[in-house]
Structure 1
Amino acid sequence: MSDERELRIVRLGAQGDGVADREGHPVFVPFTLPGEHVLADVSGERGRLVRILEPSAERVEPICRHFGTCGGCSVQHMSLAAYRAWKGELVSSAFRARGIDADIADLVEPGGRRRRAAFSVERAEAGLAIGFHEAQSHVLVAITECPVLEPKIVSMLPQLGALLAPLVSKRGARLTITATNSGLDVLLDGTERRLTPDVRSRLAAGASDLKLARLTVSNDVVVETLPPFLSFGAADVVLPPDVFVQAVAEAEAEMARRITAAVGKAKTVADLFCGMGAFTFPLAARARISAFDGDKDAIEALVAASKKTSGLKPVAARVRDLFREPLSPLELNEHDAVVFDPPRAGAEAQAQRLAKSKVKTVVAVSCNPATLARDARVLIDGGYKIESVTPIDQFVYSAHVEVIAVFRR
């Protein structure tokens, strides 16, 4: 049951929703700001904004026509000053929750737009609807613009919809597009249509006309006109289909610069959760690298690139599940510094081993302040001191923030 209620927004939640206190319980109202008096349709702990009765002075006009329906961005309605303060508080509060009094640096804003997007795809009367779901909903919002995505991705959506429409059933599909140095890398997942020779020929011709670098349907590479690659330091790395990449090239470059500076003159570095080598190769310009990741395809891409890149110190890369088999203190002690950049779940098991090691410098990179703070607590309890904590705004207008933390013994 829901009902319309007047609410006073008192704070922002971790996901960017405004929070009102109602009879001792929080009510989360998206697209609202602290201090605002609003009318909301309330159901349990969720409220749908009906009307703003008294706006905040921090409210600004969103820059995208889809804001408020598309679930991709949550805070385009917030002034720049309030936005920066909120992003910093996301990191500060995570560290405070672990009893860590850390000096959080100002938000670093590298600029740039996302070079990868994973779209939902559904059949529609005019072909395919390609876009993002509304927040907490299965309703698809077909997008015609997106200020956080590379324009070349958005501009290609109508043509891709026409090309791929025959492959998509009523159940829908998932379309992942990556802007690479050699063109767009396109992956369609969830199709049930068998790729007959005629279908394959039509797709290949269409992909060629659109100048796609590669088109993959499920696990089947239909056509690869040019190997899709990204540059990390001096290396050009060819992407396996659907491998992890950092969202924004400019943010990745800023992180690599800061990581390299933090490592300094270390001669041997372990790069854990290394992926395809976004940080491996910049580090390898000055240090011998041991790189580890659980993704076999990513490691193979890293190894292939290292073999054809000159001017690097030795790079040894191995497949290893660092959640189940973290490096031991003895293995870690072979290195002057360790860099780790795990998925959102963090690297608790590896942090516990690091806490027992003698490694002088640890650089932690994370897209989840909560798990980073947890791992930082482990390192601090093991004798490390925090030198710096720097939030980096890779995920503009969202509740996500990248963080680099440097620890020293």
Structure 2
Amino acid sequence: MHQRLTVEKLGHRGEGIARGSAGVVYVPYALSGETIVAEVDGERGRLGEIVVPSPDRIAPFCPHYTVCGGCAVQALAPGPYAEWKRGIVVAALRGARLEAEVEPLQDAHGVGRRRATFHARNRGRGVAVGFMQARAHEIIDLDECPILAPEMGHALEVAHAIAHTLRGLEKPLDINITATLSGLDVDLRGAGKIEDGLKKKVVALAETHDLARIANHGDMIALRRLPVVKMGLATVAIPPGGFLQATLSAEECLAAPVLAATKGVARVADLFSGVGTFALRLAAQCEVHAVEFDAAALNALSAAHRATVGLRGITTERRNLFERPLLADELKPYGAVVFDPPRAGAEAQAKALAAGLVPLVLAVSCNPVTFARDAKILVDGGYKLERVVPVDQFKYSPHVEIVATFRRPAVKKKKARLLG
């Protein structure tokens, strides 16, 4: 059913929110203040006509916008866009009943994304390779993507070549491609076992496209050069499928407040350390204890540390912090703790920190909702939330990163009275 709607605001998923004849309607690609005609089905709306456009509407730069699901908001002018994305963090904190000043949004798109996961599905006699269609399971077949970094320029060409080579497997593939200083690093997911004859074709493909490495769910197929990236003074050889921040600019934007806040601290615990995004930078100014469950990531961190001149000591510990967080007694040696968990957040670790006396905590998050939950735990445990920095790594999407500073007020010791 088509309805004429007035969009009241832009929601946290980048959808216009309006009130239809039967209640709230969410309309992707509509902007706040617009009068639109939408095809409404329950609470979902499909944008048809923009009757009165928002004064903040601009022309999107990608021809696939509104079809490809990779970007939710490209038609909003930069100023209102930054306020909308900052507002996602503000709303999450308000929902947790926390009062904190949220700084202006930092643009961390830089030159573009250095990693992406392309989906490949057989389609008739061909193969579709690209990103998922917005709110559907169809693949939008792409040959280019303007939000990728220049060094990812031929990544889609590589993804197409791999998908066609493995088409006979008749399996849905996820092709994770990361740009490194050594070239493109590829890790396949969903292929299952690849027989030797087909592996030879994949090896030949790596030669043809000058790839650094191709792995199948972490298992090596072709290694021509170790894929490496810089992290501070160190050069890290990342494991197959290893996690990196999507843009180099975001990695630097997230690290800068952490380094500034911990300057002068002797020992720092880096929890959920990964391959060393923070630990390897922190080691230029202090001793670091890095804790991570992924053994390959820890091995990469340790190898980079050993090979780098000018860093202080880094110790490592393999540990599942969701099940076994560092407890108050274990946290005593540290002047500061940095934690950067997955989207699920670090509820158990936040509770352990709240029960301890670490003077300074730096929380890094990719999920405002779980960040706000963990922040509430710390604040209720006596910490003061001093600084909240929103970082826009996944530009044009609803995702936003956060770096926050928590400080435990010093306890003043009462002078003992002398009894006369």
Same fold (TM over 0.5): yes
**Identical aligned pairs, as a percentage?**
42
> CA offsets, 1:325-357, max 9 Å, x none?
000001111100000001111111111111111
- Note the residue ranges of structure 1 that are not aligned, 5 or more in a row: none
Q: Kindly tell me: are residues 244 and 21 of structure 1, through their superposed partners in 2, closer, same or farther at Cα, counting changes over 3 Å?
A: same
Which of 80, 83, 96 pairs up with 1:82?
80
Is 2:224 aligned against 1:241?
no
In structure 2, C-alpha distance between the alignment counterparts of 1:388 and 1:187, rounded to whole Å: 37
Which residue does 2:278 correspond to in 1?
279
Letter in 2 for 1:207: A
Aligned-pair CA distance for 1:179: 0.4
- Contact map agreement 2:161 2:205 (CA 8 A) in 1: no
Q: Which moved more, 1:22-31 or 1:242-251?
A: 22-31
Which residue does 1:181 correspond to in 2?
181
Which residue does 2:12 correspond to in 1?
14
Which residue does 1:194 correspond to in 2?
194
Which residue does 2:106 correspond to in 1?
108
Letter in 1 for 2:345: G
Q: Kindly tell me: are residues 348 and 80 of structure 1, through their superposed partners in 2, closer, same or farther at Cα, counting changes over 3 Å?
A: same
Letter in 1 for 2:369: A
Is 2:62 aligned against 1:56?
no
In structure 1, C-alpha distance between the alignment counterparts of 2:208 and 2:373, rounded to whole Å: 50
Aligned-pair CA distance for 1:126: 6.8
Q: Does the residue aligned with 1:231 lie in a helix, a strand or coil?
A: strand
Q: Kindly tell me: are residues 71 and 99 of structure 1, through their superposed partners in 2, closer, same or farther at Cα, counting changes over 3 Å?
A: same
Q: Does the residue aligned with 1:303 lie in a helix, a strand or coil?
A: helix
In structure 1, C-alpha distance between the alignment counterparts of 2:278 and 2:91, rounded to whole Å: 28
- TM-score computed with the length of structure 2 as normaliser: 0.93
> CA offsets, 1:61-107, max 9 Å, x none?
00101110000100001011110110110011111111111101011
Which residue does 1:95 correspond to in 2?
93
- Contact map agreement 1:167 1:193 (CA 8 A) in 2: no
The size of the alignment, in residue pairs, is: 406
In structure 2, C-alpha distance between the alignment counterparts of 1:388 and 1:293, rounded to whole Å: 26
Q: Does the residue aligned with 2:154 lie in a helix, a strand or coil?
A: helix
- Contact map agreement 1:9 1:18 (CA 8 A) in 2: yes
Q: Does the residue aligned with 2:37 lie in a helix, a strand or coil?
A: strand
- Contact map agreement 1:118 1:175 (CA 8 A) in 2: yes
Letter in 2 for 1:187: D
In structure 2, C-alpha distance between the alignment counterparts of 1:163 and 1:75, rounded to whole Å: 30
- TM-score computed with the length of structure 1 as normaliser: 0.96
Which residue does 2:227 correspond to in 1?
228
Q: Kindly tell me: are residues 67 and 173 of structure 1, through their superposed partners in 2, closer, same or farther at Cα, counting changes over 3 Å?
A: same
> CA offsets, 1:189-237, max 9 Å, x none?
21256322x3333322221121100011334311111000111111111
In structure 2, C-alpha distance between the alignment counterparts of 1:384 and 1:158, rounded to whole Å: 50
Q: Does the residue aligned with 2:157 lie in a helix, a strand or coil?
A: helix
Q: Does the residue aligned with 1:86 lie in a helix, a strand or coil?
A: helix
Q: Does the residue aligned with 2:64 lie in a helix, a strand or coil?
A: coil
Aligned-pair CA distance for 1:163: 4.3
Q: Kindly tell me: are residues 109 and 239 of structure 1, through their superposed partners in 2, closer, same or farther at Cα, counting changes over 3 Å?
A: same
Letter in 2 for 1:50: G
Aligned-pair CA distance for 1:258: 1.5
Letter in 2 for 1:242: G
Q: Does the residue aligned with 2:57 lie in a helix, a strand or coil?
A: coil
In structure 1, C-alpha distance between the alignment counterparts of 2:153 and 2:138, rounded to whole Å: 20
- Contact map agreement 1:144 1:154 (CA 8 A) in 2: no
In structure 2, C-alpha distance between the alignment counterparts of 1:329 and 1:165, rounded to whole Å: 53
Letter in 2 for 1:259: V
- Contact map agreement 1:128 1:162 (CA 8 A) in 2: no
Q: Which moved more, 1:167-176 or 1:315-324?
A: 167-176
In structure 2, C-alpha distance between the alignment counterparts of 1:182 and 1:253, rounded to whole Å: 20
Aligned-pair CA distance for 1:34: 1.0
Q: Kindly tell me: are residues 127 and 157 of structure 1, through their superposed partners in 2, closer, same or farther at Cα, counting changes over 3 Å?
A: farther
Aligned-pair CA distance for 1:24: 6.4
- Contact map agreement 1:153 1:179 (CA 8 A) in 2: yes
Which residue does 2:204 correspond to in 1?
205
In structure 2, C-alpha distance between the alignment counterparts of 1:172 and 1:48, rounded to whole Å: 28
- Note the residue ranges of structure 2 that are not aligned, 5 or more in a row: 409-420
